[in-house]
Chains A and B, each alone.
Chain A
Amino acid sequence: MRLVAFYGRNVDEVLALAWQHVYLVAIATVVAILIGVPLGVLLTRRPALRGTVLGVANVFQTVPSLALFGFLIPLPFIGGIGARTAIVALILYALLPIVRNTYTGIAGVDPAVREAGRGMGMTDWDLLTQVELPLGLSVILAGVRVATVVSVGTATIAAAIGAGGLGVYIFRGVATVDDTLILAGALPAALMALAADGLLGLAERRLAWRTK
Chain B
Amino acid sequence: MIPALEVRGLGYLLPGKGKGDGGPGRFLVQDVSFAVGAGETLVLLGRSGSGKTTTLKLINRLLEPTTGEVRVAGARAADLPANRLRRRIGYVIQEVGLFPHFTVERNVGLVPQLEGWPPQRTAARVRELLALVGLEADTFARRYPHELSGGQRQRVGVARALAADPPLLLLDEPFGALDPITRVELQREFQELEGRLGKAMVFVTHDVREGLLLGTRIGLMHLGRLVFLGTPDQFRRSEHPECRAFMEAA
Binding site for B on A (CB under 8 A): 110, 112-113, 115-123, 126, 130-131, 134-135, 209, 211-212
In this complex, what residue of B is CB-closest to A110? Answer: B96
- Residue of B87, B93, B97 ringed by the most chain A CB atoms within 10 A: B97
Which of B83, B87, B96 meets A116, CB within 8 Å?
B96
Q: How far is it, in angstroms, between the C-alpha of A134 and the C-alpha of B99 when the chains are bound? A: 11
Contact between A121 and B87, CB atoms less than 8 A apart: yes
Contact of B83 among A121, A131, A209, A212 (CB under 8 A): A121
Cβ B87 vs Cβ A120 within 8 A:
yes
Q: Which residues of B contact A126 (CB under 8 A)?
A: 114
Q: How many residues of B contact A (CB 8 A)?
A: 20
Q: Is the CB of A116 within 8 A of B93?
A: yes
Closest CB pairs A-B (n = 5): A121-B87, A121-B86, A116-B97, A209-B101, A112-B96
**B100 contact set on A, CB distance < 8 A:** 113, 135, 209, 211
* Nearest CB in chain A: distance from B121 CB, A: 18
CB contacts (< 8 Å) of B244 on chain A: these are none
Is B160 located at the chain interface by the 8 A CB criterion?
yes
How many contacts between A and B, using CB within 8 angstroms?
Answer: 54
- Nearest opposing residue in chain B for A111, CB measure: B96
A119 touches B101 (CB 8 A): no
Partner pick for B110 among A120, A135, A212, CB 8 A cutoff = A120
Question: In the complex, what's the smallest C-beta–C-beta distance from A3 to chain B, in angstroms?
Answer: 47
A34, B114: Cα distance in complex, Å: 27
Contact at A113–B83, with CB atoms within 8 Å? no
A118-B62, A119-B91, A123-B83 known; 8 other A-B pairs, CB under 8 Å? A117-B99, A119-B60, A119-B86, A120-B86, A121-B83, A121-B111, A126-B114, A211-B146
Please report the C-alpha to C-alpha distance between residue A121 and residue B62 in the assembled complex, in whole angstroms: 10
Could you say which of A112, A120, A126, A135 has the most chain B C-beta atoms within 10 Å of its C-beta? A120
Provide the bound-state CA to CA distance between A119 and B91, in Å: 7
| A-binding residues in B (CB < 8 A) | 60, 62, 83-87, 91, 93, 96-101, 110-111, 114, 146, 160
Chain A positions within 8 Å of B111 at CB level: 120-121
Residue of A nearest to B172 (CB): A119
- Nearest CB in chain A to that of B115: its residue: A121
**Interface residue from B62, B101, B114, B160 paired with A115 (Cβ < 8 Å):** B62
B60 to A212, Cβ gap below 8 A?
no
- B83 touching A122, Cβ below 8 Å: yes
Residue ID in chain A nearest B86 by CB atoms: A121
For B86, the chain A residues whose CB sits under 8 A away are 118-121
A–B pairs, 18, beta carbons within 8 Å: A112-B96, A116-B98, A117-B99, A118-B62, A119-B91, A119-B93, A119-B97, A120-B91, A120-B114, A121-B85, A121-B111, A122-B114, A123-B83, A126-B114, A130-B99, A131-B99, A134-B101, A212-B146
Q: Which residue of chain B has the shortest Cβ distance to A209 in the bound complex?
A: B101
Q: How many Å from the CB of B55 to the closest CB on chain A?
A: 14
Q: With the chains together, A120 CA to B97 CA distance in Å?
A: 10
CB distance from A159 to the nearest CB of B (A): 43
- CA separation between A209 and B111, bound complex, in Å? 22
Please report the C-alpha to C-alpha distance between residue A134 and residue B232 in the assembled complex, in whole angstroms: 45
CB distance from B42 to the nearest CB of A (A): 18
Closest A residue to B100 by CB, please name it.
A211
The one of A112, A122, A135 that contacts B101, using a Cβ cutoff of 8 Å:
A135
Q: How far is the CB of A176 from chain B (nearest CB, A)?
A: 55
* Bound CA span A118–B87, Å: 10
How far apart are B82's CB and chain A's nearest CB, in angstroms? 8
Cβ of A134: which chain B residues have Cβ within 8 Å of it? Answer: 101
